[in-house]
Amino acid sequence: MSDQSGHILAHVEGNVGRLTLNRPDKRNAITKAMWGALQAALENWAARRSLRVVLITSSSDSFFSSGADLTEFERAVEQPRFREQTWNALTGVLTLLREFPMPTIAAVAGNCSGAGCALALAADLRIVAADAKFSVPPARLGLVYPLADTARLAALAGPAVARDMLFTGRSINAEQAYLFGLVNAVVAPETLAAKASALAAEIAMNAPSSLAAAKRIMAKVEAGAVKDDAESIALSLDAYDSDDFAEGLKAFKEKRKPDFG
């Protein structure tokens, strides 16, 4: 499954859904149509119980995404309706990714800028090549980074780092991103694809009900919850009645790896 232009490649391998940015001639600048293709794939996959991880990557080893397609900016100036549609498409994808029922991973090499940075930060985990660079350059264009994206940046890296990136528009390298807490791991560029696939496979081996519950509870924590509510208590207690726990316990007793189907 992919969009008609081929700029977004979407396919499933086992329990892992792969979304690949594939517009190398434009350094994966993301168009309104590409946002639409990403949204369609995520909506389709959200209903699949067999899918346990989404991995977002680039078809190029040299860059993840240069951000929003600048050639569409002039049209956005002239056509407010197009501007609103693009905004809705972009924010819709980032919300879908953030709220996707299963874990999501961004594998980032090279330049990751603007809307491309927002896409990577919306994923649950980020594994990046040592040559990765992150930037948030709207101030250099006279634009404004959306509040939700700014909040994610500040939550991960802290307000001081977020302000520095927003105010200056300059890039930070992979090592800085790791020290700031923006990324989970930095690997050699030639190993990025294999390491990202291995991480996705490791996660996909676990119980789908546990993965989904962990995402729900993490969302509550990030929203400021510090005490259990009815939903979080139910998620914990009802797990004892699940097929996943029955298989996990049986596998533990039989000293083998569980098979969650």
60 plus 107 within the same structural domain: yes
Answer yes or no: is 138 within a domain.
yes
What pLDDT, on the 0 to 100 scale, is given for residue 3?
61
* Residue in 127, 136, 120, 134 with CA at minimum distance from that of residue 189: 127
pLDDT by residue (tens digit) across 141-171? 999 999 999 999 999 999 999 999 999 999 9
pLDDT by residue (tens digit) across 198-239? 999 999 999 999 999 999 999 999 999 999 999 999 999 999
Segments forming the whole domain that contains residue 224: 208-253
Number of domains within the chain: 2
212 plus 198 within the same structural domain: no
Assessment of whether the complete model's pTM goes beyond 0.85:
yes
129 plus 238 within the same structural domain: no
Q: With 90 as the cut, is the pLDDT of residue 103 above it? A: yes
Whole-number Cα distances in Å, 24 to 7, 29, 36, 70: 9, 9, 18, 15
Task: Look up the CATH number of the domain holding residue 238.
Answer: 1.10.12
Answer yes or no: is 2 within a domain.
no
